[in-house]
Amino acid sequence: AQRVTQPEKLLSVFKGAPVELKCNYSYSGSPELFWYVQYSRQRLQLLLRHISRESIKGFTADLNKGETSFHLKKPFAQEEDSAMYYCALSGDTDKLIFGTGTRLQVFP
């Protein structure tokens, strides 16, 4: 079964601290993994996808097939990073399977 697990509902850090939002997945084939971000009262926005290997707003994520993980990282958190972050998987069908999300709070 396809599943995405985000074990932390809430992650609180101070400005300038490193951030790692965890995402583990369950899928037997070769998935495509995404991170979406939802700022307060705004729509979900694609933050990054593993095939593009980009760094967006200082965030990076590496697909680790051995650990079936796609953790989102940023070395120095900013207050404007406070938002809901969703990890998602796309397998052999066209739909996205989302995790339950992690709320990141960055304190000044």
Q: Can you tell me which of 49, 67, 78, 80 binds other proteins, judged by CB under 8 A?
A: 49
SS (H, E, C) the chain: CCEEECCCCEEEEECCCCEEECCEEECCCCCEEEEEEECCCCCCEEEEECCCCCCECCEEECCECCCCECCEEECCCCHHHCEEEEEEEECCCCCEEECCCEEEEEEC
Q: Which stretch binds other proteins (CB under 8 A): 11-19, 41-49, 62-70, 74-82?
A: 41-49
Binding mask 74-103 toward other proteins (x if CB under 8 A, else -) reads ------------x---x--xxxxxxxxx--
Chain residues binding other proteins by CB under 8 A are 4, 6, 32, 34, 36, 42-46, 49, 86, 90, 93-101
